[in-house]
Amino acid sequence: MEFRPSDDHLAFQRTVREFALAEVAPHVAEWDRAGSLPVGIVHAMGELGLFGLPFPERWGGSGGDFLSLCLAIEEIGRVDQSVGVTLSAGVGLGATPIFRYGNDEQRSRWLPDLVSGRALAAFGLTEPDGGSDAGATRTRATPTDDGWVLNGAKAFITNSGTPITSVVTVTARTPDGQISSFLVPSKTPGFTVAPAPHKLGWHASDTHDLSFEDCVVEHRSLLGEAGHGYRNFLSILDDGRVALAALALGCAQACLDHSVAYAKERQAFGGPIGRFQAIAFALADLSVAVENARNLTYKAAWLKDSGQPFGPLAAMAKLYSTEAAVSATRVATQVFGGSGFMEDSPVARLYRDAKILEIGEGTSEIQRLVIARGLGLPVG
């Protein structure tokens, strides 16, 4: 069996790689120091069609497949993880819930700007007291004659406070105890976006806590069927896990690229350090890890595109690729030695960025739980 992207996929991947090197790479250090999302690069990715990849032409997309999106995220993330996660979250967590569960009125209202990169949307699931335990949602939605009144808080929400954020999808518990989801337009009265926190990594990615205090949204803001919010977002998270695996793959590949180049150039004890087995073997192992991550990620994307069950493999891809990325940054920093500890090193930023990969879209522990349950084990 031959398992490889098609020639069209590879040509598209090269196009994104060229874009990332030309439009992202020269500015990465500047954006990281500024600690804010460069909206211009969102528009540029939109013009390239990246935000519309998996959506039909009817809604402004290109009708591409999920593997194409993963290739794009990998290549952008290979240059900058912050911009990579902006793309991943903008498509998977922002536009996809509206496309998959919204009605035509909601799609017509929001998708054209989201799939073109003119706007961003966010996904409000995590709460201050509910991360991995997403079913413990405390945000409340109370029905009234005018619509729904939201009260509660969300934490660590990506793409939620940019100048071009147009809407946030929020999960909330209704009086019957079920979890539903609601579309909350930006600047809705009672919806407050907290100042950006100071993060360890992903400095150029937009992240905020959100609060809702007697925030009134219209009846038509209900996204999907009432009571299906939690179930629907678990499905969204399967997609997101594969996308985050692709982002982690980009990180690991970047670490390998930088380390091999440095090991050939750095001189010590009369020659390049790559001639020492300690360095050479570490990079050989890293190369194996990158290839394993790539195969798991691409296969999970292929299963989704083929309409086959992919949840357990999505968890495997996310678990393996993110842990491989964290290990890759440690190896790369060690190869660079003292230079790797300096912020102007190409691997220092990757070292900071990588850790969140093991946490977002479900921690490594949650992925192991999903995989174990897939084996039929009665683990709780």
> Would you tell me how many other CB atoms lie within 10 Å of the CB of residue 221?
21
361 catalytic per annotation: yes
Give all strands (DSSP E) within the chain, no chain letters.
120-124, 140-144, 147-158, 165-173, 179-185, 191-193, 207-217, 222-223, 267-268, 271-272
> Would you tell me how many other CB atoms lie within 10 Å of the CB of residue 331?
21
Q: Position 98: which residue type?
A: I
Question: Whose structure tokens read 């998959």?
Answer: 100
* Token pair belonging to 355: 């850790």
Name the percent of the chain in helix, strand, coil, to the closest 5. 60, 15, 25
Please choose, from the candidates 19, 77, 71, 74, the residue with its C-alpha nearest in 3D space to the C-alpha of residue 43.
Answer: 19
What is the 8-class DSSP label of residue 4? -
Q: Find the catalytic residue in 74, 75, 127, 361.
A: 361
Q: Position 217: which residue type?
A: V
Q: Which residues are catalytic?
A: 361
